[in-house]
Amino acid sequence: MEGLSSRIAEINNSAAQTHTRQFEILAETLEKDGHNIEQLLDKISSFQVAIPSWALGTGGTRFGRFPGGGEPGSLEEKIQDVGTLHALNASSDAISLHIPWDIPKDTNAIKELAASYNLKFDAVNSNTFQDQPGQDHSYKFGSLCHSDPAVRMKAVEHNIEVIKYGKELGSKALTVWLADGSSFPGQMNFRKAFGNTLDSLERIYETLPEDWKVLVEYKPFEPYFYSMVIPDWGTSHLLANKLGEKAFCLVDLGHHLPNTNIEQIVATLMMEAKLGGFHFNDSKFADDDLTVGSMKPYQLFLIFNELVEGMEDEKSANPVPAWMIDASHNLKDPLEDLLQSVEAMKLAYAQALIIDRDSLEKYRESNDVSMAQEVLQNAYRTDVRPLLAEARRRSNAAINPLDTYRKLQIREQLIQTRGSKTIATGL
């Protein structure tokens, strides 16, 4: 790590002059518009995104997988990779584990390793959408919703076990992505499936530590192709409300029907103080799990507009949501994809921070539609990259993370160390 830091510093040196000039010009413009640069930099620096352990290896589709090289073969190597990211961008200070893909054998050693990279453990994730080898009850026809109480019990116990691992690691949240559903009309009794699911979640909820949250994710289809037990925010919200104060909704950008206005869902859930977490990615067609910001960067900005508005609202009772990337890197080097994703998120965040909110509200009140749009676009069209670079520079991270990653030949070194044929656990 120290080695990495010093090599980053070296590359920063050669980029410093150009960066400084660009930053100063931007800072001058923003200050003229009434922004406090130091506050902006503070907020940007504080913004941290959790990296899921399964996003460090090459993903695939049902048609095949084309692995890259140097993929992490163990939890330790996954933590190392997140450490590399964090050294480069100073924005990825947590890892989110997926059980059973990442069961820690020696919890203390794992925690120490993470701490050595300045990493924490974010929400833990359960998996009841795959059967493990030799599993006695199958999840083929569902887990928490299953018609057979024995299968439900198995799935409940798995979630309780995941909480146990999370407690040992210092996590404070359990994310439940319930992949349960049906693929054919007639297959499932919708109301019984909901009732079974609620009952299962209540059993899990009972064991949740006082300072934990449970995050209930929704998705309209895949892996089932007719109905999902929790298909939309309305159902997720219904469940979270029935469960209690520690239960929240989790929004994954890719889990919506075509044309959904996601930013409005964000606003509604924050208004109801029930937005607990966010999975970032991007998509064009379905749950494509692409690099954040690679397809619809303006939508991302509009979502951050709502997030910032909700978080800065003093009357809001919504907790700060847990941010996480949830993507599948089928074609790119996973670490490059993650660097691009975090950069896109922070651009959207920084642009949302410089929205002239007083003017925006004034134009909204007077229904001056053209000018309300101008206010948003004025922020969006501003090139805030120097602001992000400056925040990184001050945190001893890379001015240009992806460029630095390439120059340091990190992937080449990982291939040398780990080999070109390793396959990470996960999707």
Which 361-380 positions form the footprint of a copy of itself (CB under 8 A)? 361, 363-367, 369-370, 372-377, 380
Q: Which of 161, 168, 232, 356 binds a copy of itself (CB under 8 A)?
A: 232
d(CA 300, CA 345): 8
Q: How far is the CB of 363 from a copy of itself (least distance, A)?
A: 8
Alpha carbon 179 to chain centroid, angstroms = 18
User: Cα dihedral angle (184, 188, 190, 194), rounded to 10 degrees?
Assistant: -120
Q: Which of the ranges 87-95, 114-122, 159-167, 286-294 carries the binding residues for a copy of itself, by CB under 8 A?
A: 286-294
Contact between 101 and a copy of itself by CB under 8 A: the answer reads: no
Binding of residue 360 to a copy of itself (CB under 8 A): yes
Q: Based on CB atoms, which residue is closest to a copy of itself, 118 or 260?
A: 260
From residue 332 to residue 351, the character string flagging contacts with a copy of itself as x (rule: CB under 8 A) and all else as - is: xx--xx--x------x----
CB of residue 237 to a copy of itself, shortest distance in Å: 6
* Secondary structure element (H or E) that encloses residue 279, with its range: strand 275-280
Chosen residue from 7, 120, 203, 296 binding a copy of itself by CB under 8 A: 296
How is residue 130 annotated by DSSP? S
- Per CB under 8 A, the list member of 80, 196, 294, 422 interacting with a copy of itself is 294
Interface of this chain with a copy of itself, residues 200 to 219, rule: CB under 8 A: none
Among positions 24-53, residues that touch a copy of itself (CB under 8 A) are 25, 29
| 246 versus 274: smaller Cβ distance to a copy of itself | 274
Number of amino acids touching a copy of itself (CB under 8 A): 106
**DSSP letter, residue 91:** -
From candidates 298, 394, 413, 420, binder to a copy of itself by CB under 8 A: 298
Tell me if residue 73 falls in helix, strand or coil: coil
CB of 61 to a copy of itself, least distance (A): 4
Region binding a copy of itself by CB under 8 A among candidate stretches 76-84, 154-162, 176-184, 207-215: 176-184
Instruction: Could you list the beta-strand ranges (E) of 93-242.
Output: 94-96, 120-121, 124-125, 173-176, 181-182, 213-217, 227-228
Residue 111, token pair as written in the block: 């925690």
Candidate ranges 93-101, 112-120, 166-174, 329-337; the one touching a copy of itself (CB under 8 A): 329-337
Cα–Cα distance, 397 to 370 (Å, whole number):
40
Using rule CB under 8 A, residue 413 touches a copy of itself:
no
Total count of residues recorded for the chain: 427
Q: Are 59 and 332 in contact (CB under 8 A)?
A: no
Closest contact distance (angstroms) between CB of 96 and a copy of itself is 18
CB of 230 to a copy of itself, least distance (A): 11
The residue among 72 and 310 lying less far from a copy of itself, judged by its C-beta, is 310
Q: Name the minimum Å distance from CB 72 to a copy of itself.
A: 19
Interacting residue with a copy of itself among 11, 16, 37, 271 (CB under 8 A): 271
Taking Cα atoms as reference points, which of 413, 412, 385, 409 lies closest to residue 399? 385
Our finding on whether 136 is near a copy of itself (CB under 8 A) is no
- Determine if 240 is a binding residue for a copy of itself (CB under 8 A): no
Helix (H, G, I), strand (E, B) or coil at 99: coil
Nearest Cα neighbor of 200 from 211, 213, 216 is 216
CA distances from 60 to 55, 293, 329, 377 (A): 11, 20, 8, 36
Q: How many CB atoms lie within 10 A of CB 4?
A: 17
The C-alpha atoms of residue 323 and residue 266 are separated, in whole angstroms, by: 13
Q: Which residues contact 203 (CB under 8 A, 6 or more apart)?
A: 156
By C-beta, is 91 or 143 nearer to a copy of itself? 143
Among 222, 311, 356, 395, the residue binding a copy of itself under the rule CB under 8 A is 222
Structure tokens at 4: 């990495």
